[in-house]
Amino acid sequence: MVARTDLATDPGLQGELLQARPGTAFFARKLNELTDQELDSGSLLPGWTRRHVVAHVGYNARAIARLVEWAGTGVETPMYPSTGVRDHEINFGATMSPIALRNLFDHSAVHLSVEWRDLPDRDWANEVKTVQGRTVPASETVWMRTREVWIHAVDLNNGATFADVPAPVLERLLRDVTGSWKTRGTDTGLLIKVNGTELAGTDLTFGDSSAPDPTIITGPLPAVVEWATGRGTSGVTAACGTEMLSGIPAAPKWI
Ligand code: ZN
């Protein structure tokens, strides 16, 4: 029997699914605003046209759907055989006709949504492996996808900004990014302060809180996330003690 609604009954998970689907819809809207010809222009990602972004987002949905299938069947199906294969797939995808690219995005998004819908409660905790080799429960795939569609909608470079991304998504993203710096030890001497957020109502602080004389990056949540993900520096300031810095240092890499 085919389910008409999500089989997952966990309220937290249902909430996350509710966050992923508007992200997909938002990406679809930005993509639809682009003419076929405009797909040839540059994205915010170095060396990638918009075509590359669309191909990547489409293949990413397929890759994440493989993880959900793995969780449901117990048969190991990795996201990609290797990162080389993934990159090759993106480069190939970028050469497809505009209609084929748009279909890739649409069909892969629907397929993933169906895989999520039909995964029963008992299988969401089953472990799968990300392309970076992290072992995660299947439920993590929802966040993995959410993050992708929102960020890459901005990368399409036709008007979407981090201010369009819901605050809970931005905050979780910032935790991911700063957590990755911490794991790699690349946040030494760097303190990030987010001005009072909708969520917390107070300032949020990330990074190296033990540094005696840190470089402090400050701004509203969308601006800080834009900076932290390497997408721009508008709206953030940098200071050392009480001294404002004239240049904003680049954020450490996070992926
Ligand atoms: Zn991506």
pLDDT of 180-197, one tens digit each?
Answer: 999 999 998 899 999 876
Say yes or no: 177 and 141 in one domain: no
Structural contact between residues 193 and 205, judged by C-beta atoms closer than 8 angstroms: yes
Model confidence at 201: pLDDT above 60: no
b (16+ CB within 10 A) / e for 113-139: bebbbbbeeebbebebebbeeeeeebb
Helix 50-73, helix 98-117: angle, nearest 10? 30
Q: Is residue 189 part of a domain?
A: yes
**pLDDT number for residue 10:** 85
Which of these three, 160, 186, 205, is where a domain ends?
A: 160
Q: Is residue 26 part of a domain?
A: yes
**pLDDT number for residue 128:** 97
Say yes or no: 171 and 236 in one domain: yes
Q: What's the mean pLDDT in 27-56?
A: 97
Distance 58 CA to ligand 1 centre (A): 10
**pLDDT number for residue 158:** 97
pLDDT of 215-225, one tens digit each?
Answer: 999 999 999 99
Say yes or no: 145 and 187 in one domain: no
- Residue 161 is encoded by which pair of tokens? 């900004």
Say yes or no: 238 and 213 in one domain: yes
Say yes or no: 83 and 132 in one domain: yes
Model confidence at 241: pLDDT above 90: no
Predicted confidence band of residue 5 (pLDDT cuts 50, 70, 90): confident
Q: Is residue 249 part of a domain?
A: no
Say yes or no: 225 and 106 in one domain: no
Angle at 37 (CA atoms; ends 32, 43), nearest 5 degrees: 75
**pLDDT number for residue 25:** 96
Say yes or no: 188 and 84 in one domain: no
Say yes or no: 91 and 47 in one domain: yes
Distance CA 145, CA 53 (A): 14
Model confidence at 248: pLDDT above 80: yes
Q: Is residue 55 part of a domain?
A: yes
**pLDDT number for residue 195:** 87
Distance CA 182, CA 184 (A): 5
Pairing mode of beta strands 204-207, 243-244 = unpaired
Task: Name residue 215's beta-bridge partners.
Answer: 190, 240
| CATH code, domain with 130 | 1.20.120.450
CA atoms within 13 A on the CB side of 198: 10
Q: What's the mean pLDDT in 238-249?
A: 90
pLDDT of 82-111, one tens digit each?
Answer: 989 999 999 999 999 999 999 999 999 999
pLDDT of 132-168, one tens digit each?
Answer: 889 999 999 999 999 999 999 999 999 999 999 999 9
Say yes or no: 155 and 71 in one domain: yes
Q: Is residue 3 part of a domain?
A: no
Q: Is residue 93 part of a domain?
A: yes
Distance 77 CA to ligand 1 centre (A): 19
Instruction: Provide the domain count of the chain.
Output: 2
Domain that holds residue 234: 167-244
| CATH code, domain with 221 | 3.30.1050.20
**pLDDT number for residue 200:** 54
Distance 180 CA to ligand 1 centre (A): 16
Among 74-83, 110-119, 189-198, 238-247, which stretch is predicted with the lowest mean pLDDT?
Answer: 189-198
Distance 210 CA to ligand 1 centre (A): 32
Q: Is residue 2 part of a domain?
A: no
Distance CA 136, CA 68 (A): 11
Among 7-16, 33-42, 78-87, 232-241, which stretch is predicted with the lowest mean pLDDT?
Answer: 7-16
Distance 235 CA to ligand 1 centre (A): 24
Distance 249 CA to ligand 1 centre (A): 23
| pTM to 2 decimal places | 0.92
Which of these three, 160, 176, 192, is where a domain ends?
A: 160
Residue 159 backbone zone (phi > 0: left; psi -120 to 50: alpha; other: beta): left
Predicted confidence band of residue 1 (pLDDT cuts 50, 70, 90): very low
Distance 224 CA to ligand 1 centre (A): 19
Distance CA 220, CA 22 (A): 23
Say yes or no: 153 and 175 in one domain: no
Distance 241 CA to ligand 1 centre (A): 35
Say yes or no: 76 and 128 in one domain: yes
Say yes or no: 16 and 100 in one domain: yes
Distance 105 CA to ligand 1 centre (A): 13
Q: Is residue 251 part of a domain?
A: no
Which of these three, 160, 181, 197, is where a domain ends?
A: 160
**pLDDT number for residue 210:** 86
Distance 152 CA to ligand 1 centre (A): 7
Q: What's the mean pLDDT in 189-211?
A: 79
